[in-house]
A and B are shown apart, each in its own frame.
Chain A
Amino acid sequence: MSLTAGRTDWAAEAEDEDLATALPAPQITKNKDGSETIVTFVIRDDGQKVKQTRRIKKTVIREKVNPRVAERRQWAKFGAEAGRPLGPQTDTTSVGENIVFRPQAGFKPGGAEKENESAKTQKDALKNVSIKCRICSGDHFTTKCPFKDTMAPEGEPGTTPGDLGLEDAPAGGLGTSGSSYVPPHLRKGGAGTGERMGGKYERDDLATLRVTNVSEFAEENDLREMFERFGRVTRVFLAKDRETGRAKGFAFVSFLDRADAARACEKMDGYGFGHLILKVEFAKKST
């Protein structure tokens, strides 16, 4: 330690020099639009030198205040507040959440009451709807009609309530020519072809493959993964045993596009999956 007097530590010296050169005086320039640009340099805690450029516009707001009010603002605080600094104290005063308050004509309070109201209007609407039986036109549901076993719905041939009352036994008799029974598919003049099960979403069997000889440990997802590489798979159905939950050995895979299906059929037929060899063919249209 041979630090002689008059000679300072070289490290400190270098730092001093650095500080002197690194921190020029802040520059303030006046802009044309009345604002000021202040450029300052500071050294952050981590030693980084930072240039700060701030643009400030000063606006003088003059407000006329009631002199009595202004005087009262200067009053010294007293009581529990004596000696406290100027401005609101955080222990007593805080700012609440913003409240949207817009007066409006015909104000309706609360959501709950609104709901009640809508339920009420619904009820009112239902009040005016009359229930009418399709068999006897009475004010009950068709299924509750006392004549539902003996009469066909209104508007069908030979089944008005009047003529049923007159000749019920012979009309219903077995083997009688002109029986009142009409099979469902011939009703309404035979025009309707009857509804198909499954509704309007008819399956497109054209792009469906039937996969057989599937391992009984296979899962639908395995099949989906295998077939998805040929195109968009819309449906995978793997037949499973209801009791054991294992696959029965066959599955259907539907594609969005028939071309994909054809390609998949060609490639996957004879593919080894598990310990078995798959057999893939186009599904036959069910009749």
Chain B
Amino acid sequence: MRPILISGHERSLTQVKYNKDGDIIFSVSKDHVICAWFSANGERLGTYHGHQGALWSVDVDPTTTLLASGGADDTMRLWDVKTGKLLKTWEFHSSIKRVEFNEDGTRLLGVTEKRQGAVSSIVVYDITVDVDAKQPDEHSLRIVCQESKATVAGFSYLSKFIISGHEDGTVTQWSMKDGLEELGATVHENEPITDLQWSQDRTYFITSSKDKTAKLITAHDLEVLKTYPTDTPLNSACMTPKKDYVILGGGQAAADVTRTSARQGKFEARFFHKIFEEEIGRVRGHFGPLNYVAVHPHGTGYCSGGEDGYIRVHHFDKPYFDFTYEVEREQAAKI
């Protein structure tokens, strides 16, 4: 496969995301600008200007109408995808580390950073999926994370829970009705959770952590189903539809190398089999750690955003789809 290299950002990428149909990729980086790209050929649709600080997170609603973003300028913003117009700005006392829509795009959550005078919290807004509609100023739900600050969060199936990942390696399940903690589990040993991405039906999710593992966890009882160990701190993990793989991205950050081992490289996307928990391949290319990996909703490709400022868009070719384990082939033969 020949990857498409996108170098539209001037600083390191923080998140890349496909829309629901998989034709547009939204990317945010520390250079204050959001970009939208056509995934088929890497053509840029446009840019969204307005943020005054580094951006940490972006998400698009399922109909590709509204775009949400959050960054270090303490604002969460809502944009019109088609024209790049700023629709709404919510201001906070600390930076927004994560934004995410729920399944139907009617709710938007933001994770705020813990800072002196500001607690780590998860705020939820009720959104009307319409460019012309007036969006609420006040949040409909606010969850304060007392114990450890939240780094990532997302809505579970049917927007029943909010699941958050924390800096101390725990995941917490919050009720959507009253915002109370229902369950908590320590899944990564005292290392921050760096990413949380959902399965297609949002009944389970994958977390990645600096403790060099990624884990598959159910949403309703936070049971760890699978563990994918690697040899490098992970920044992101996602599950591929169509084939049962997971893609993990990470790498030793340059800032950490002097403190830890000086082993170079490991800036590869690692592919594991989701069920057998075995590594099946790697894709090289980035020359910095991978900050985010996102997979095409149809499972035909993936893209990764790196610390090196590049987005690499890959379209899988035949060997990717053909690969099966012996047992899988036997099973198929029986049927």
> Which of A's residues lie within 8 Å of B, judged by CB?
66, 68-69, 72-73, 75, 77-82, 84, 86-89, 92-99, 101-107, 109
Jot down 15 A-B pairs with beta carbons below 8 A, ordered by A.
A80-B47, A81-B45, A92-B6, A92-B44, A93-B4, A93-B7, A94-B4, A95-B2, A95-B4, A96-B2, A96-B285, A98-B1, A99-B283, A104-B280, A105-B278
Distance between B320 CB and nearest chain A CB, rounded to angstroms: 6
Contact A81 B281 (CB under 8 A): no
Contact with B281, one of A80, A97, A103 (Cβ below 8 angstroms):
A103
Tell me if B21 counts as interface (CB < 8 A to partner A): yes
Q: How far is the CA of A68 from the CA of B325 in the complex (A)?
A: 37
Contact with A87, one of B43, B280, B283, B319 (Cβ below 8 angstroms):
B43
Contact B42 A88 (CB under 8 A): yes
Tell me if B157 counts as interface (CB < 8 A to partner A): no
Contact B279 A107 (CB under 8 A): yes
Contact status of A96 and B44, CB under 8 A, knowing A101-B319, A101-B320? no
Q: How far is the CA of A254 from the CA of B163 in the complex (A)?
A: 89
A-B CB pair tally, cutoff 8 Å: 119
> Which of B's residues lie within 8 Å of A, judged by CB?
1-8, 21, 23-24, 33, 37-38, 41-49, 64, 82-84, 245, 271, 278-285, 312, 314, 316-317, 319-320, 323, 325-326
Give the interface centre of A68, A77, A103 by most chain B CB atoms within 10 Å: A103
User: In the complex, which residues of chain B have a beta carbon less than 8 angstroms from the beta carbon of A86?
Assistant: 43
* Other A-B pairs, 15, CB within 8 Å; known A81-B47, A93-B4, A99-B283: A68-B21, A79-B49, A80-B46, A81-B45, A92-B7, A93-B7, A93-B43, A98-B1, A99-B285, A101-B316, A101-B319, A104-B323, A105-B326, A107-B279, A109-B279
Contact with A96, one of B278, B312, B326 (Cβ below 8 angstroms):
B312
User: In the complex, which residues of chain A have a beta carbon less than 8 angstroms from the beta carbon of B3?
Assistant: 95-96, 99
Contact status of A93 and B42, CB under 8 A, knowing A68-B21, A79-B48? yes
Contact B6 A78 (CB under 8 A): no
User: In the complex, which residues of chain A have a beta carbon less than 8 angstroms from the beta carbon of B280?
Assistant: 103-105, 107
Contact status of A93 and B6, CB under 8 A, knowing A102-B323, A103-B323? yes
Closest to A69 in B: B23
Contact B2 A81 (CB under 8 A): no
Contact status of A72 and B46, CB under 8 A, knowing A92-B7, A95-B4, A107-B281? no
Contact status of A81 and B44, CB under 8 A, knowing A96-B5, A99-B2, A104-B281? yes
Contact B83 A78 (CB under 8 A): yes
Contact status of A101 and B47, CB under 8 A, knowing A73-B38, A93-B4? no
Distance between A92 CB and nearest chain B CB, rounded to angstroms: 4
User: In the complex, which residues of chain B have a beta carbon less than 8 angstroms from the beta carbon of A89?
Assistant: 43-44
User: In the complex, which residues of chain A have a beta carbon less than 8 angstroms from the beta carbon of B47?
Assistant: 78-81
User: In the complex, which residues of chain A have a beta carbon less than 8 angstroms from the beta carbon of B312?
Assistant: 96
Distance between A113 CB and nearest chain B CB, rounded to angstroms: 10
User: In the complex, which residues of chain B have a beta carbon less than 8 angstroms from the beta carbon of A101?
Assistant: 1, 281, 283, 316-317, 319-320
